[in-house]
Amino acid sequence: MENNRILIFDTTLRDGEQTPGVNLNLSEKLEIARQLELLGVDIIEAGFPAASPGDFEAVRAVSKSVDCSVAALCRCVPADIERGWDAVRLGKKPRIHVFLATSEIHMKYKLRMEPDEVFRRAVEGVKLARTLCEDVEFSCEDASRSDPAFLYKVLEAVIDAGASTVNIPDTVGYAMPAEYGQLVKGVIENVPNIVKAVVSVHCHDDLGLAVANTLSAIQNGARQVETTINGLGERAGNCSMEEVVMALQTRSQLYNVGHGIDTTKIYRTSQRVAKFTGVPVAINKSIVGANAFAHESGIHQHGVLANPMTYEIMTPQSVGKTESTMVLGKLSGRHAFVDKLKALGYTLSKEEIDDAFVRFKDLADRKKTITEDDLEVLMSQKLADVPATYRMDSFQIQSGNKMQAMASVSLVSGSGTATEAATGDGPIDAAYNAVQRIVGGQWPLAAYDIKAVTEGRDALGEVTVRVKHGDQTHTGRGLASDIIESSILAYINAINRALAAEKGATV
């Protein structure tokens, strides 16, 4: 690998999906993977195959559907490694990614192993993986809190055993930029055979320093960075891919490294991941937030009008953030519709195109013009579908500021159509109470989010909900020009996801 090129390792589908409440179905994972490939990432970590049959199937499907490298995460356990290889072996560029903790606190309390045992298992795990796959990565979990001497010893041994990439994670977001950079520098200076491997970093954002730590690591010799779109991940999340890439791009003279990312596809990728995961992008989020290029101050507005570089260190166009174009209407034909979906990066079968076109025509009857944003939401809503235990047939609402809201909802299921009525604290609460009467059981609402996804009075309203069922939380999404209809559809979608998960379906 060229020493001045940074490899982008994206773990949105693995570490990103560990975000509480995020549960992607297979279609959504495949669409995100294809979008990541269009974006230009070098490696996609598609999941943890040994975790569940659903994860295994998802990793296998992703590995077969893209041309870039696909990694499977595995513990240093033979069964995990063999399962991981089975998941990626049909891919064009398979990678096995094995990990084992090397910090004293993890070895003592989590692994309950002595350092010698950890050392032995790390070497044996890499050796087994190398007999199956040419591309093997090893991660020293909690490296930033590990004893450097022990870290160097393990890294030298796993490289000798066949690891071509070694990862130095800041697993709990503990490190400061200066010390993390020194840790990476120490690895490069003290591991004799380090030239045989790519040094990678994986930073968490518990102290808000994941991007800063990653950039510090690059300055000190790291040449692979492990990131997620929108910084998704467990706890406070991971290093944000878009922030690292645009930092390298904007300050190219300082970092003097290249990458393979097509930055004009960043914004669309961010929006697609946000819709599929149900995790909205904060309006003040760097690079991709709604306010990232907004200027309210009069002084700022004057400066930007005179010369955008006064207050914009990058352009909205450089990350693909442009005004949504009015592209289609109710008179648009199938050919134009298919061409636009292809331009947006969707790869669909004939059956999927037929279904999407019917839904497009239905939407076009209600909206004068259809924008790219409309199409994105239309497609993301279809991909949110799961086996429909319940489907909405109709609803009626009575509500006002001086009366208690009442709702009547009819749902279709395998046993026919059922109708229930209920009251509530507002029309949506009443509708949800009616749905719950039909479905039975407890389905408390953990979160509710609503937004207009396009402009104008006929804008589509997208509702995202999180519903608790047992000890799990399931995300549902609904889309309609009627906000109450969107809300009911989202609630039913979350319930269907929960029921599908109970039956073992990949959701």
Q: Decide if 8 contacts 230 (C-beta within 8 A).
A: no
| Contact criterion met (CB below 8 Å) for 380 and 477 | yes
CB-CB neighbours of 336 under 10 Å? 13
Residues 462-469: what's their mean pLDDT?
90
Per residue in 276-295, pLDDT tens? Answer: 888 989 989 999 998 888 75
* CA–CA gap between residue 463 and residue 485 (Å, rounded): 9
CA pair distance 144, 56, nearest whole angstrom: 30
User: Percentage of the chain surpassing pLDDT 70?
Assistant: 92
Please give the domain boundaries of the chain with CATH numbers for all domains. Answer: 7-277 (3.20.20.70), 293-320 (no CATH), 326-383 (no CATH), 391-502 (3.30.160.270)
Residue 143: its pLDDT value, please? 98
**Higher pLDDT among residues 486 and 333, named by residue:** 486
CA distance 422 to 429: 9
**Phi–psi pair at 360, nearest 5 degrees:** -65, -45
Which of residues 474 and 246 earns the better pLDDT score?
Answer: 246
pLDDT of residue 301: 47
Torsional sign, CA 327, 331, 336, 340:
positive
Rounded Cα distance, 67 and 30, in Å: 13
Give the Cα separation of 320 and 264 in Å (integer): 4
State how far the alpha carbon of 316 is from the alpha carbons of 69, 122, 288, 291, 506, in Å.
30, 45, 9, 11, 37
pLDDT tens by residue, 313-364: 888 899 998 765 657 777 788 888 888 888 887 877 888 888 888 888 887 8
Instruction: Look at 250 and 305; give whichever has higher pLDDT.
Output: 250
Q: What is the distance of C-alpha 26 from the center of its chain?
A: 13
Residue 300 has pLDDT above 50, yes or no: no
140-169 tens-digit pLDDT: 999 999 999 999 999 999 999 999 999 999
pLDDT of residue 94: 98
Q: What would the pLDDT profile of 81-116 be if each residue is shown by its tens digit?
A: 999 999 999 999 999 999 999 999 999 999 999 999
| Nearest partner of 216 among 246, 177, 271, 268, judged by Cα | 177
| pLDDT of 299 higher than 50 | no
Output the CA torsion 207→188→248→20 (10° steps).
Answer: -40
Q: How many CB atoms lie within 10 A of CB 4?
A: 10
| pLDDT score, position 371 | 77
For the entire predicted model, the pTM comes to: 0.84
C-alpha distance from residue 498 to each of 390, 488, 501 (Å):
12, 16, 5
Mean pLDDT of 391-401: 95
Residue 304's pLDDT is 47
